[in-house]
């Protein structure tokens, strides 16, 4: 297949589906399972790596759901309030509501499908504390919750009649004359063979684009394929400037730089220290959270022991706060040996507990860094972790602005606002995976016939892909990617300024023109160079959207920090930033007014915590008396 | 259906030469260890004498070699045997004329032997060390040697290990599934040997302690640690349950006993070897004392 | 640090050879880093499967000096300075390209397993399960499906037992289902006949190779074998079951 001169697409295999899901992480599998529950609906699932290897396995801490198993004061309202405040009120109100309300049911469903969570003394699903969550809320399995989730979905999913295509890369979407999704062209990585999926609806569960940065907890898969393809198909990307840098990634040795150290370490009592041995997080408590955060080490210690009156330790502030604090400490010259901060659990818990509660962290440091976390402090630093933004979707249907195209999970934007709380991602995957699966079925059932695919579109997509192989010579895709990563790391990193972002955008433009002439040597069979080049387009689109949105948002909010605009600015709360492909083929970045929220939701999000606690208490009492 | 037939070039490259570590050390040690035990115990069982010491006293007490316990039949014409009042079934019967050396040890050894042969630890040991399939992890089975016991028992010795005839617990090897029955007997033996240890504290009805007492006391303890760490016990005592807390009784009894057995089970290999060596040692010691080669140091002053 | 010698299998299932590469090794590097560096500098089209690079997804299973390992968790400093390192694909599975293997056989085995089946009644409310009852199950669920045990198992590796035996990974999965306090399905006959528990002769290499340190042999395979014995080989148990019914 390496050299296509006469492109005859009649030889290419075609398959027909009612619902096709791209991506088989937590969201993709949930969506496919939800869709397959409907009789007579043919569901397909395409994934870039082997089934069960998607990045969800890396999620460690847990999934947030207000089950109230550990602390019965918890309720969806408090979860919703935490989510909104964590997201600096920029979240899509409706999505945050659906998420908080639906998460407990989804967690229970997962348990019914075979997930085995850690238990409370009463034999219920145990829940742990996490940054930004007022009550212990994260259903978890040690520090391998993501693995549990994906394995459960995988083992359940393979019996639902879903047609699974592994190691298959999606290239681009095709649309019919009335701009509805009609299919997608994909390529099997092993053989280089193309395949055309004709489908009535398409669900993108393609994750983020963390591979745009140099230091990232994301694997090679995170190349923003969904963003790139959706953008090319005319969909809008929202909130792309909000990129979460997880405060604790490994910093040493170099080869593992960026690999995630779970927030669970802090949830279990780990503390942050600088090179002077000072527990510095007490100095970085934002005013907004001052009422809910301990101000002495003594109080923090009491909280950890389960004292319900004590306030939480400052290490459990939201991720953006902790990441910025580490950044500041390092810049002030108080960083650790290899340019991070110390995360110490060894002095806080005994070694038995650590090994039991954080087995994979213990293992990870033991093997990769030759460090015993039960005896020594870890060195950690911020690492690119998550895209709050993504493809803009309708809150209640998960449909994007392209008819027939749905998005869920990290690929979709809006739910987390300016900053995502730890543990909200896994529940997001389940809630919106499930929702988009169901809504896609509804949509597909509404279509009487398959939307038509234009053969010219297919030819165009395939030609674009094969030209990378067929070119006589050209630029090395690995080098373009490396340059892009460096550019994003230095110019559009944690702390941003107008000048740097502008430099960043210029570099991206330059890299885009280099990409026009990219060349991968070798055949089309399992050729990593080619795969890298194919992913580059999507990485470039994602990076451009991030940079342009970051430039436009002239304030610091959540995960987006502008040195030249260091504070939150109220007027910016009115807008989301949208990127879409303009008529001239260039990226348009515009401010879009946010919808006015439901007054009830607004009230909940803005009420004081004591007030809300009382309200919830009343709700619960009413419920029990009714029963 | 995918084709799994291995092709030449790949097979040529992926062979044992890639392995840089000395993988043959451990199977070799196991081979030597087991062979020497088999050799010694066969010899010792053949003797039929010098398995008892009580310094000639006929009263309660004395040292008895575990190879010969319990004393089913006793041939009083031999030297170094217990007095006739120890015999469970009297003197050596005519119909057992065919047993080599007229030794009761054969009747006894069959039980521990079957327990150890079907033991889930020893299976690893002898599959690796004797049938060499595989001799060590990731090492290609070595050809030219029968790949399983049934090849020998079925008179198929001519068919050497081609790597294609392996079929697990088939043929005679289905008997490996009787492990739990072998275990029941092994447990009975723990009690018998404990009684022997008790016996070793006395000589001619008089309480005392000697080197032999210590050796014969440690013996059932090690054997107990080995036997009570057995996988079959672990299963029967609680491993077969899916829910302990569903009933108070199961929670208290089964889960706790399962945990104890699990503790020993994790050390099954260790106790398998320790108890094996110690049993042999016990026999050596009693034999040497009985033959008068070694003098037992004891409180009886004999 | 100095430049070191590597040999990597290049080719497919039909034809292949060991190709020499040199690569500079720096502190903290793992074998996967070496492969990536060679891939970027010298062999753009060297196929290699990987994902999380932290020992959590089980994608980068290969053989290093003839021993099955995870490339991302094998540190370079565990080899002698002079030692030549040979990197080859999994021996028990067909080679797709270079060091990437076709592991689809494993997915076929998983499909044969009766999935988790709680009763309808239990599903109506929250599961109540005590920690001690799920400890065993959770231990099995640590599996990252790297298939190193499947590759190591001599039944599959050297004795062409793929038709008869599902392999240690799926014994572990079966054990996790059979021991689940809420599961109501009966897989004992399947374990013996479909998945071939009798093919395992307890050589224990699967346990030795497991990167998650799951006690595959002691905790999964042997307990399943014992349950099979309860049902099919223990005459007393069979007799009692005939008289007193299932329990």
Active site residue A246: yes
- In chain C, the residue whose alpha carbon lies closest to the alpha carbon of A119 is C131
Q: State the CB neighbour count (10 A cutoff) for residue C239.
A: 10
Q: Which residue of B has its CA nearest to C8?
A: B13
The answer to whether residue C149 scores a pLDDT higher than 90 is yes
List of residues 6+ apart from A580 with CB closer than 8 A: A231, A234, A235, A236, A237, A401, A587, A588, A590
CATH of domain A458-582: 1.20.58.100
Question: What are the CA-CA distances from residue A465 to residues A271, A500, A513, B144, B294 (Å)?
Answer: 49, 33, 16, 53, 87
**Which chain A residues in 97-136 lie under 8 Å from chain C, judged by CB atoms?**
108, 111-114, 116, 118-119, 122-125
Indicate the residue of B2, B18, B170 with minimum beta-carbon distance to C105. B2
**% of residues, chain A, pLDDT over 70:** 99
Q: Which of A53, A127, A143, A250 to mutate to test the interface with C (most CBs of C within 10 A)?
A: A53
Find which of B3, B14, B19, B164 to mutate to test the C interface (most C CBs within 10 Å of its CB): B14
Average pLDDT over residues C236-245: 84
**What are the strands, taking DSSP E only, across A415-572?**
495-496, 561-562
Domain coordinates in residue numbering, chain B? 27-229+267-291
Element (H, E) at A203: strand A194-204
| Partner chains of B (3+ C-beta pairs under 8 Å) | C
Percent of chain A residues topping a pLDDT of 90? 83
Tell me the mean pLDDT in the region A594-621.
Answer: 94
Question: What pLDDT score does A6 carry?
Answer: 58
Most confident of A292-301, B87-96, B217-226: B217-226
Catalytic site includes residue A266: yes
Q: Which residue among B13, B128, B170 sits closest to C203, beta carbon to beta carbon?
A: B128
Distance of CA B167 to the CA centre of its chain: 26
- What are the structure tokens assigned to B260, written together? 């104890």
Burial of A608 (0-12, 13-18, 19+ CB in 10 A): exposed
pLDDT digits (tens, 9 = 90+) for B53-81: 998 888 899 999 999 989 988 888 889 99
- What band does B162 get if pLDDT is binned at 50, 70 and 90? very low
Q: Which residues pair with B207 in a beta bridge?
A: B202
Query: In chain C, what residues touch B235 (CB-CB under 8 Å)?
Result: 222-223, 226-227, 230
How many CB atoms sit inside 10 A of residue A624's CB? 8
Say how far apart CA A128 and CA A306 lie, in whole Å. 11
C-beta atoms of C116 and A114 within 8 A: yes
Question: Is C128 in Cβ contact with A122 (below 8 Å)?
Answer: yes
Any C CB within 8 A of B4 CB: yes
Mean pLDDT of A300-308: 86
Strand runs labelled E in A54-98 = 63-64
pLDDT at res. A374: 94
Chain A segment 34-93 residues within 8 A of C by beta carbon are 49-53, 55, 57-58
Contact across the interface for A114 and C131, Cβ inside 8 Å: no
Interface residue B1 vs chain C (CB under 8 A):
no
Which domains, and CATH codes, for chain C? Answer: 3-101 (3.10.20.30), 104-244 (1.10.1060.10)
Which of C116, C130, C145 lies nearest to residue A52, judging by beta carbons? C145
Interchain contact, A114 vs C115, CB within 8 Å: yes
Question: Is 50 exceeded by the pLDDT of residue A80?
Answer: yes
How far apart are alpha carbons C9 and C32 in whole angstroms? 14
Q: Hey, what are A509's tokens?
A: 């433009």
Q: How far apart are CA A2 and CA A530, in angstroms?
A: 11
CA distance A269 to B149: 57
pLDDT in tens, A235-256: 999 999 999 999 999 998 888 8
Task: Work out the pLDDT band at B143, boundaries 50, 70, 90.
Answer: low
Contact B13 C18 (CB under 8 A): yes
Pairing of strands C85-88, C3-11: parallel
Distance between CA A552 and CA A565 in Å, rounded? Answer: 11
> Where is B105: in which H helix or E strand?
helix B105-117
Q: Give first-to-last CA distance, chain C, whole Å.
A: 65
Q: Which position has the token pair 């630093």?
A: A381
b vs e for B66-95, b when ≥16 Cβ sit within 10 Å of the residue's Cβ? bbbbbbbbbbeebebbbbeebbeeeebeee
pLDDT in the model for residue C205: 95
Residues of A258-275 as b/e, b for ≥16 C-beta within 10 angstroms? bbbbbbbbbbbbbbbbbe
Give the pLDDT band (50/70/90) at residue B157. Answer: very low
Please check whether residue A406 is in contact with residue A235, taking contact to mean a CB–CB distance below 8 angstroms: no
> What are the beta bridge partners of residue A565?
A562
Using CB atoms, pick whichever of B7, B138, B255 lies closest to residue C66: B138
Q: Is this complex scored with an ipTM above 0.90?
A: yes
Are the CB atoms for C202 and C217 separated by under 8 Å? yes
Q: Is the pLDDT of residue A344 over 60?
A: yes
pLDDT value at position B90?
A: 86
Contact in structure between C102 and C96 (CB atoms under 8 Å): yes
Residues of chain C found within 8 Å of residue B268, distances taken between Cβ atoms = 218
* CATH placement of domain A245-384: 3.90.700.10
Determine how many CB atoms are found less than 10 A away from the CB of residue A610: 9
* 8 Å CB contact between A285 and A255: no
Average pLDDT (A199-226) is: 94
Marked catalytic residue, from A144, A156, A246, A349: A246
For A59, the closest chain C residue by CA position comes to C56
Is residue A390 classed as helix, strand or coil in its secondary structure? strand
Average pLDDT, chain B: 87
Domain ranges of chain A: 245-384, 458-582
Q: Convert the pLDDT of each residue in A26-57 to its tens digit.
A: 999 999 999 999 999 999 999 999 999 999 99
pLDDT of res. B168: 84
């Amino acid at each position: 297949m390496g050299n296509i001169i006469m492109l005859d697409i009649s030889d290419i295999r075609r398959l027909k589906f009612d619902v096709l899901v791209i991506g088989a992480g937590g969201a993709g599998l949930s969506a496919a399972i939800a869709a397959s529950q409907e009789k007579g609906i043919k569901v397909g699932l395409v994934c870039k790596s082997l089934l069960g290897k998607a990045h969800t396995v890396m999620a460690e801490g847990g999934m947030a759901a207000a089950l109230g198993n550990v602390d019965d004061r918890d309720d969806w309202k408090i979860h919703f309030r935490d989510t909104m405040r964590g997201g600096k009120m920029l979240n899509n109100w409706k999505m945050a509501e659906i998420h908080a309300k639906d998460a407990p049911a989804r967690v229970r469903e997962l348990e019914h499908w075979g997930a085995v969570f850690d238990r409370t003394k009463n034999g219920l699903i145990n829940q742990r504390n996490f940054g930004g969550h007022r009550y212990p809320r994260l259903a978890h399995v040690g520090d391998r919750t993501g693995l549990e989730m994906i394995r459960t979905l995988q083992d359940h999913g393979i019996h639902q009649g879903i047609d699974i295509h592994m190691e298959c890369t999606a290239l681009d979407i095709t649309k019919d004359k009335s701009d509805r999704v009609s299919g997608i062209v994909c390529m099997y990585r092993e053989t280089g063979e193309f395949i055309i999926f004709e489908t009535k609806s398409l669900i993108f569960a393609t994750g983020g684009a963390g591979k745009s940065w140099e230091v990232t907890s994301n694997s090679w898969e995170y190349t923003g394929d969904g963003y790139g393809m959706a953008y090319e198909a005319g969909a809008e990307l929202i909130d792309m400037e909000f990129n979460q840098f997880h405060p604790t990634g490994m910093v040493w040795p170099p080869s593992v730089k960026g690999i995630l150290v779970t927030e669970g370490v802090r949830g279990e009592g780990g503390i942050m220290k600088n090179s002077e041995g000072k527990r510095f997080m007490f100095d970085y408590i934002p005013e907004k959270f001052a009422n809910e955060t301990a101000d002495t080490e003594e109080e923090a210690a009491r909280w950890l022991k389960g004292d319900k009156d004590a306030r939480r330790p400052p290490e459990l502030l939201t991720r953006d706060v902790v990441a910025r604090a580490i950044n500041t400490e390092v810049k002030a010259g108080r960083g650790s040996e290899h340019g991070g901060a110390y995360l110490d659990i060894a002095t806080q818990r005994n070694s038995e507990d650590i090994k039991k509660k954080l087995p994979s962290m213990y293992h990870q440091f033991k093997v990769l860094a030759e460090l015993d976390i039960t005896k020594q402090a870890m060195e950690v630093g911020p690492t690119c972790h998550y895209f709050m933004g993504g493809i803009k979707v309708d809150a209640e249907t998960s449909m994007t602005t392209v008819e027939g195209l749905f998005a869920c999970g990290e690929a979709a934007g809006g739910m987390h606002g300016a900053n995502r709380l730890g543990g909200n991602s896994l529940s997001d995957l389940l809630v919106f995976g499930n929702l988009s699966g169901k809504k896609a079925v509804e949509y597909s059932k509404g279509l009487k016939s398959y939307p038509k695919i234009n053969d010219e579109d297919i030819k165009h997509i395939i030609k674009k892909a094969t030209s990378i192989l067929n070119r006589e010579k050209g630029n090395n895709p690995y080098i373009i990617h490396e340059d892009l990563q460096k550019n994003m790391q230095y110019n559009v990193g944690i702390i941003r300024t107008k000048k740097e972002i502008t430099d960043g955008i210029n570099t991206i433009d330059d890299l885009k023109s280099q990409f026009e002439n990219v060349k991968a040597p070798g055949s089309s069979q399992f050729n990593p160079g080619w795969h890298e080049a194919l992913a580059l387009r999507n990485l470039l689109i994602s990076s451009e959207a991030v940079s342009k949105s970051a430039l436009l948002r002239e304030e610091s909010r959540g995960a987006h920090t502008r040195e030249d605009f260091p504070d939150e600015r109220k007027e910016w709360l009115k807008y989301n930033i949208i990127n879409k492909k303009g008529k001239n083929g260039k990226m348009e970045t515009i401010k879009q007014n946010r919808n006015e929220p439901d007054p009830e939701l607004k009230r909940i999000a803005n009420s004081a915590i004591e007030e809300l606690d009382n309200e919830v208490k009343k709700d619960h009492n009413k419920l029990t008396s009714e029963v | 259906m995918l084709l799994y037939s291995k092709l030449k070039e790949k097979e040529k490259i992926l062979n044992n030469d890639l392995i840089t570590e000395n993988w043959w050390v451990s199977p070799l040690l196991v081979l030597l260890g087991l062979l020497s035990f088999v050799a010694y115990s066969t010899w010792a069982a053949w003797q039929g004498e010098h398995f008892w010491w009580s310094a000639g006293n006929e009263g309660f007490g004395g040292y008895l070699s575990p190879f010969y316990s319990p004393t089913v039949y006793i041939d009083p014409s031999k030297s170094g045997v217990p007095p006739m009042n120890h015999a469970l079934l009297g003197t050596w019967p005519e119909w057992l004329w065919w047993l080599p050396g007229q030794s009761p040890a054969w009747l006894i050894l069959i039980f521990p032997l079957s327990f150890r042969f079907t033991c889930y630890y020893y299976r690893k040991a002898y599959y690796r060390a004797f049938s060499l399939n595989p001799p060590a992890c990731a090492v290609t089975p070595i050809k030219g040697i029968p790949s399983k016991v049934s090849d020998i028992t079925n008179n198929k010795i001519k068919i050497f290990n081609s790597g294609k005839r392996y079929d697990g617990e088939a043929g005679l090897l289905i008997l490996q599934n009787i492990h739990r029955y072998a275990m029941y007997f092994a447990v009975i033996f723990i009690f018998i040997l404990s009684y022997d240890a008790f016996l070793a504290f006395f000589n001619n009805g008089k309480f005392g302690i000697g080197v032999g007492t210590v050796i014969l006391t440690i013996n059932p303890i090690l054997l107990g640690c080995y036997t009570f760490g057995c996988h079959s016990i672990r299963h029967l005592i609680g491993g077969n349950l899916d829910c302990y807390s569903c009933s108070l009784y199961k929670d208290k009894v089964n889960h706790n006993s399962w945990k104890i057995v699990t503790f020993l089970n994790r050390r099954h290999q260790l106790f398998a070897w320790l108890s094996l060596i110690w049993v042999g040692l016990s026999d050596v010691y009693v034999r040497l004392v009985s033959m008068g080669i070694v003098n037992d140091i004891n409180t009886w002053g004999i | 640090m100095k430049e070191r010698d590597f040999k990597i299998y290049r080719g497919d299932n039909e034809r292949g050879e060991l190709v020499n590469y040199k690569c500079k090794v720096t502190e903290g590097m793992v074998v996967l880093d070496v492969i990536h560096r060679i891939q970027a500098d010298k062999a753009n089209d060297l196929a290699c499967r990987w994902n999380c690079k932290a020992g959590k997804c089980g994608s980068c299973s290969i053989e290093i000096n003839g021993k099955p390992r995870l490339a991302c968790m094998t540190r370079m400093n565990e080899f002698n300075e002079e030692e030549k390192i040979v990197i080859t694909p999994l021996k028990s599975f067909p080679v797709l390209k270079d060091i990437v293997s076709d592991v689809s056989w494993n997915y076929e085995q998983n499909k044969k397993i009766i999935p988790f089946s709680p009763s309808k009644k239990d599903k109506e409310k929250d599961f109540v399960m005590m920690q001690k009852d799920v400890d065993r199950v959770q231990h099995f669920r640590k599996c990252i499906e790297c298939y190193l045990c499947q590759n190591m198992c001599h039944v599959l590796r050297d004795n062409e037992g793929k038709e008869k035996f599902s392999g240690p990974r799926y014994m572990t999965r079966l054990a996790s289902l059979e021991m689940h306090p809420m599961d109501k399905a009966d897989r004992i006959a399947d374990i013996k006949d479909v998945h071939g528990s009798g093919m395992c002769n307890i050589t224990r290499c699967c346990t030795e190779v497991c990167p998650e340190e799951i006690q595959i042999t002691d905790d999964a395979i042997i307990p399943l074998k014992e349950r099979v014995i309860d049902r099919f080989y223990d005459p007393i148990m069979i007799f009692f079951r005939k008289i007193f019914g299932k329990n």
